[in-house]
A and B are shown apart, each in its own frame.
Chain A
Amino acid sequence: MVKLTINGIELEAPQGELIVETVKRLGLEIPVFCYHPRMKAVGMCRMCLVETGFKQPDGSVRMMPKPQAGCTLPASEGLVVVTDSEAIHRDRKGVLEFLLINHPLDCPICDRGGECPLQNNTMAYGPSTTRFIEMKRHLPKAFPLSQYVTLDLERCIQCGRCVRFTEEISGDSDLAFRFRGAEMQPSTFQLTDFESRFSGNVIEICPVGALTSAKYRFRARPWDLETSPGVCTECSNGCNVWFDHRAGKQVRINGRANDGVNEEWTCDKGKFGHDWYNSTSRLTKPLVRRGDQFVPASWSEAYEEILAAFADKGGKVAGLTGPRVSNEGLFLFKRLFSEAFGSDNVDHRWRSGPVPTGPVPRPLPIASLESKRHILVFGTHLAEDLPIVHLRVRKAWSQSGATVDVAYSAANEVERFAKASLRCRPGAEAALAKCLLGEAVWSGKATVSDAVRAELAGFNADSAEEKSGVSGATVRAAAARLGEGAVVLTSDRLLDAPEPPSAWKSLKALAEATGSEFVCYPTGTNAAGAELLGLVPDHGLSTWQILEGCKDGKIEALWLVEADPSSTHDAALETVPFLVYQGTLENEAMAYASVVLPMAAPAEQDGTWTNCEGRVQRFRQAIAPPGEAKPAWRVFAECLLRARPSTPFFNPGEVMEEIARVHPVFAPAQYSLLPEEGALVARESLVGEPAGGGG
């Protein structure tokens, strides 16, 4: 810690902390454009100028003759900083006048207008009139950088935030500055498409309206929007977002800071993937089949039909859920089947391979990846499956000096910074995992039981080339890097590869034998929650067995929640005598349904979702569901009530209390206890318990 003085206030700060940050802690503000707390400071915009000086041994202060940029100035002993003097105000005015010379001031039509740092800083610190009467710079307006990002070069103030984002955070280096001086412009090399998976973030960090969203273009102004804190439900990362809506319609998604999950970033899948909320094919009314046609029905008619087909049929009925159902919905779905229908045939897993049994290790918190020494990303296209985990892995590499190896069968983004890429032949994941384990065992690095050792005969670095297509030297080096402080990271995509149990077991054994940690993140939005809530059959049929059973006539009634297996199993859906489709959107599965139930989307209901690291996060209702659509949990609760009269659940908070009673791991997730940033629910305590919401 060093002692320094800011505006006459003496305080202590860690040595080397940047002055903009120190000043922020004091509750004062230094206006900035190019500085971003999560990126390296470059001092490009000169907006943060402060007067500096040093305390002399005799106690007097010797001020520097010129101001310095606060964003590149580290705190040091005896530093004196003045952020609020006459000269600084003049400097800021000058900088803003300079930045505004070529700025078109088309704020009324600019999508950034109303939430624009340049606008705000000009209002607060800038000159009120312009002295510039010459011709302004004229450049193309509304140039499409990609299908998501629109570039308006006239508005650019050349702060370089977007360029630095692609270099430092997303790592694709898709953007760069072309030309120099007043002509300098951010753009892609060769004017190709801006194809980053994280391109949406540059829209948010641009301090002017130079980079705007093509999807949000002219759709609303900030003061038209209502903003609700939300959770992205497009994948299992559970990114915190701001859900912006206007007149009951979803308008845009912005990143919301949660250091444990997404810091403040979003991926394009999440940021631009919520259009379906406003789709015209949203289901709005319960439908029942009469002959060849669907007729609108009341909820009670639909329930009666469903209960007639499902109630007390035992193992002849089954339910399959998709990924986007809330914890409360999943829990009541399981309970409905076990209590009212007497069936254990419920599943949520859609990966093609059979799922390995046995205790599942507790997933590592995403943020803890940063502190690891080495990460082996195995069998998953990380940037595609778990984009935000990908950013953490990259951050571990770029900021904490971790080494990263990647083993996957196709080109992927991790290869760009990986020490070694073990690109195996498609389908050779299991062989590669065995070779890695074999190499660790034969080199004496790891010890395994004799049974495993016997299976590994012939699998080592030398045979890796032939068995998986990865060179022996690479395998040898990759195996050597595993050990204490290393992580073997995979996702459930591994289960899509041939021989999934073998690959999964070998990989887990590899991690355990070398003393590394093993983490397998699920990719379905609430797959972790479904796993914890026991939405897997204990004795009943699993997903593919259920669908086969439909075809064979063993299953007489099937309930699909937000799931559509029609592309692979349309025969099953066609054969099953009674099919309930419950979902938000019309789809192919609906064509075979006997009853169709409209479902509220995540933002249209109160509920919690569990992300891949086991973090339960609450998403409060932001907008009203379309038509008569109901949240999934309410539908199950109402069915349950009709089948077995009991005290009804009035709100999802009560359901969560019941969940916490049945599954004690969820105790910290009760609404009254759940913190804003979500609660990590431990998985270990679940192991050995009878899984399932039998109640």
Chain B
Amino acid sequence: MSFEVFRDVVKPIVAGFGITARRLAEQKVTVQYPDERREQFDRTRWRHVLTRYDSGLERCIGCSLCAGACPARCIYVEAAENTDDERYSPGERYAVRYEINMLRCIFCGYCQEACPTGAIVLRKDFELANYEREDFIYTKEMLLEPIRR
């Protein structure tokens, strides 16, 4: 084995393994997804949620300001009037249909910013993959937070 072969081939390989061996002692940066999940930053913006008040009433009043603010035009809101028998939100108005097209959404968070009642928020659930395009239209039922008991 000539000196050149040792210098250009063997030494870099050994040095490379050396780096790997040193790093073995350090903490790993990868996680074993999906068994393990990394904690996300506080301001991470992923899946939308329509929140409720503590009383269980919906915060959303169907004002459509989110749809107006949305740069991707992916929100569709249809409002209706609360009655005393059927009350969804405090006040006069509630959203009878609330749909977000997740394929179009760019997760900019403008809807959250525009919302006057803090109803729509972007939470940390990022696993949004699906098989059918239709399944990416998130309806109000899918977006609405379950009533806490």
A interface residues with partner B (beta carbon < 8 Å): 106, 108-109, 113-114, 141-142, 217-221, 223-224, 247
Verify if B113 is at the interface (C-beta below 8 Å from A): no
Q: Mark contacts of B57-86 with chain A using CB atoms, 8 A cut-off: 1 yes-contact digit, 0 otherwise.
A: 000011111011000000011111100000
What residues on A are CB-neighbors of B62 within 8 Å? 109, 218
The CA-CA distance from A114 to B77 in the complex, in Å, is 15
Choose one: B64, B78, B81, B116; the contact of A217 (CB below 8 Å): B81
Q: Mark contacts of B88-100 with chain A using CB atoms, 8 A cut-off: 1 yes-contact digit, 0 otherwise.
A: 0001110000000
Closest to B89 in A: A109
Is B68 a contact partner of A221 (Cβ separation < 8 A)? Answer: yes
Choose one: A106, A114, A141, A219; the contact of B79 (CB below 8 Å): A219
Give 9 pairs: A residue, B residue, CB < 8 Å, sorted on A: A108-B63, A108-B117, A109-B62, A109-B92, A141-B92, A221-B63, A221-B68, A223-B64, A224-B77
Is B61 a contact partner of A223 (Cβ separation < 8 A)? Answer: no
Is A109 a contact partner of B61 (Cβ separation < 8 A)? Answer: yes
What residues on A are CB-neighbors of B117 within 8 Å? 108
Choose one: A109, A142, A219; the contact of B63 (CB below 8 Å): A109
Closest beta carbon of chain A to B80's beta carbon, Å: 6
Is A218 a contact partner of B68 (Cβ separation < 8 A)? Answer: no
User: Given A109-B61, A109-B91, are A218 and B79 also a contact pair (CB < 8 Å)?
Assistant: yes
Choose one: A142, A217, A223; the contact of B67 (CB below 8 Å): A223
Is B92 a contact partner of A142 (Cβ separation < 8 A)? Answer: yes
What residues on A are CB-neighbors of B91 within 8 Å? 106, 109
Is B81 a contact partner of A224 (Cβ separation < 8 A)? Answer: no
For A109, A113, A141, A224, the residue with the greatest tally of chain B CB atoms inside 10 Å of its CB is A109
Seed contacts A108-B65, A218-B80, A221-B63; 9 additional CB < 8 Å A-B pairs: A106-B91, A108-B63, A108-B116, A141-B92, A221-B64, A221-B67, A221-B68, A223-B64, A224-B68
Closest beta carbon of chain A to B112's beta carbon, Å: 15
Closest to A218 in B: B79
What residues on B are CB-neighbors of A223 within 8 Å? 64, 67-68
What residues on A are CB-neighbors of B77 within 8 Å? 224
The CA-CA distance from A142 to B93 in the complex, in Å, is 11
What residues on A are CB-neighbors of B92 within 8 Å? 109, 141-142, 218
Is B63 a contact partner of A113 (Cβ separation < 8 A)? Answer: yes
The CA-CA distance from A220 to B77 in the complex, in Å, is 8
The CA-CA distance from A109 to B68 in the complex, in Å, is 14
Is A114 a contact partner of B68 (Cβ separation < 8 A)? Answer: yes
What residues on B are CB-neighbors of A113 within 8 Å? 63
User: Given A108-B61, A108-B116, A109-B61, are A218 and B67 also a contact pair (CB < 8 Å)?
Assistant: no
Closest to B61 in A: A109
For B63, B67, B81, the residue with the greatest tally of chain A CB atoms inside 10 Å of its CB is B63
The CA-CA distance from A141 to B78 in the complex, in Å, is 21
What residues on B are CB-neighbors of A106 within 8 Å? 91
Closest to A108 in B: B63
Closest beta carbon of chain B to A295's beta carbon, Å: 31
Closest beta carbon of chain A to B74's beta carbon, Å: 13
The CA-CA distance from A221 to B65 in the complex, in Å, is 9
Closest to A222 in B: B68
The CA-CA distance from A113 to B64 in the complex, in Å, is 10
What residues on B are CB-neighbors of A142 within 8 Å? 92
The CA-CA distance from A218 to B92 in the complex, in Å, is 9
The CA-CA distance from A131 to B81 in the complex, in Å, is 32
Is B81 a contact partner of A218 (Cβ separation < 8 A)? Answer: yes
What residues on B are CB-neighbors of A221 within 8 Å? 63-65, 67-68
B26-82: which have CB < 8 Å to A? Answer: 61-65, 67-68, 76-81
What residues on B are CB-neighbors of A141 within 8 Å? 92
Closest beta carbon of chain B to A91's beta carbon, Å: 30
The CA-CA distance from A114 to B69 in the complex, in Å, is 12
The CA-CA distance from A618 to B92 in the complex, in Å, is 40
Closest beta carbon of chain A to B104's beta carbon, Å: 16
The CA-CA distance from A224 to B99 in the complex, in Å, is 14
Closest beta carbon of chain A to B55's beta carbon, Å: 18
Closest to B93 in A: A109
Q: Mark contacts of B6-33 with chain A using CB atoms, 8 A cut-off: 1 yes-contact digit, 0 otherwise.
A: 0000000000000000000000000000
